[in-house]
Amino acid sequence: MKFSTIATLAIAAIPAVNAEVFLKEQFNDEAWKDRWTISSEWKSESELGEWTHTAGKYYADENDKGIQTSTDARFYGISAKLDKPFNSSEGKDIVIQYSVKHEQDIDCGGAYIKLLPGGDSFNAKKFGGETPYGIMFGPDICGATKRTHVILHSERKNENLLINKDIPCEKDKFSHLYTLVVRPNNTFEVFVDNKSVRKGKLEDEFSFLEPKEIKDPAQSKPKDWVDEKKIPDPSDVKPEGYDDIPSEIPDPEAVKPDDWDDEDDGEWEPPMIDNPEYKGPWTPKMIDNPDYKGPWVHPMIPNPDYAYDEKMYAVCPNGCTHVGFELWQVKSGTIFDDIFVGDSLEEAQKFAEETFFKKKDGEKAMYDEQNKMDANEEDALPDDDDEIGDMDGFEDEF
């Protein structure tokens, strides 16, 4: 089964009636260049990497292509207009799905997609890191950090809110499918390769709302509050002569060297060693404090600034019109493909069946075959001893 039980239940709960698709992109024709605009004015030409059109090093079908980052240590920006705008105010789900393949043993680089507002005023050539967005979603890897970003725009706060707890991402060399659903009941769900990896309420997983309670500003810890659990024992007295015990003493086993000359070397003194009788600075024993009241807890009161937001899900209240990638990659080689933007998870997963899942197994098979051939070629190479041969240039006589 390609679909998990959770995913199947999710599909069953969502009717596909009147489903709308805002974008489908497979990059399988040369006209993709007309649909997508490179961010040529975002950075200087020397800072921008080149997008290539390729199926990659291993694939199920050489004609099934995507777009790939091709230059190390470069910025990459590219965007496309949706077939029609998506508006959150219409009370529909928003589903973003696409595939990512890191062929390069990625060490540091982003691979996330953005859903963008802007309409007719959207400047595709200048699209970059500072461009406003409604959703930022997808894998981001750098060193030990490997996470799937989910960042949603809050209209009320006018901020982009990062999910509170990281979602892991895939790092191997194969294609993986990333899917995000944001629903008008203020819930969300993330799938990787069609398996649900995180779901919940927006209010629980993001900082959309102010806390329901705050510390009472009119309350403070009483001055006579005792929160010291232990106190010095008043009956414990420092022993007489305790401070007279030195921390070091002359080594009793040390012997003056036979060649020591008091006139030339001075009066001999044995080296010092730690005194086993020295116990350090004296401190009294500690006992339970009879007046201890426990840690003081600040009283909480309802937060007057708390208000539930029915529109947390509305990341595009005035409409989103474009999608795009704006990335930095230290090591290039990531391929993006099979992009879907719509309002139906069922339609997204049907699209995945027609695209991602058709190539998944064949891609792995070609990769394994290439590795097998490389291993066989390596085994066929002569040993170093055979290459060196008889170094004197003559055949052995014996």
Per-residue pLDDT tens for 117-158? Answer: 999 999 999 999 999 999 999 999 999 999 999 999 999 999
Residue 224: DSSP 8-state:
T
- The pLDDT of 11-30, averaged and rounded, is 79
Beta-ladder partners of 328: 75
Q: What is the pLDDT of residue 14?
A: 46
d(CA 220, CA 313): 38
Band the pLDDT of 6: cuts 50, 70, 90.
very low
Beta-ladder partners of 395: none
**387: how many CB neighbours lie within 10 A of its CB?**
8
Length in residues, the chain: 398
- The pLDDT of 203-208, averaged and rounded, is 98
Sign of the CA dihedral with 32 first, then 132, 69, and 334 last? negative
Centroid of chain to Cα 296: 37
Q: Give the count of alpha carbons within 13 A of 379, CB side only.
A: 6
Q: What is the pLDDT of residue 13?
A: 46
- Which residue in the block uniquely carries the two structure tokens 């024992």? 233
- The pLDDT of 35-47, averaged and rounded, is 97
d(CA 129, CA 276): 66
Q: What is the pLDDT of residue 8?
A: 47
Band the pLDDT of 376: cuts 50, 70, 90.
confident
Helix (H) or strand (E) holding 5: helix 5-12
Dig out the tokens for 41 from the structure.
């004015």
pLDDT at 9 over 50: no
- The pLDDT of 54-83, averaged and rounded, is 97
Residues contacting 351, CB < 8 A, separation 6+:
24, 97, 338, 340
Dig out the tokens for 394 from the structure.
């003559």
pTM of the model: 0.79
- What φ, ψ does residue 202 adopt, rounded to 5°? -60, -35
pLDDT at 66 over 50: yes
* pLDDT tens column, 340-365: 999 999 999 999 999 999 999 999 99
* pLDDT tens column, 223-238: 999 999 999 999 999 9
Q: Give the count of alpha carbons within 13 A of 25, CB side only.
A: 28
pLDDT at 380 over 90: no
**4: how many CB neighbours lie within 10 A of its CB?**
15
- The pLDDT of 251-265, averaged and rounded, is 90
Q: What is the pLDDT of residue 121?
A: 95
Three-class DSSP category at 274:
strand
- Which residue in the block uniquely carries the two structure tokens 């500072």? 130
Q: What is the pLDDT of residue 89?
A: 83
Judge contact between 152 and 146, C-beta under 8 A: no
DSSP 32-77: HHHHEEE-TTTS-GGGBPPEEEE--SS-S-TT--EEEE-SSSEEEE
Judge contact between 91 and 324, C-beta under 8 A: no
Question: Furthest-apart CA pair in the chain: how many Å?
Answer: 108
Q: What is the pLDDT of residue 105?
A: 87
Band the pLDDT of 3: cuts 50, 70, 90.
very low
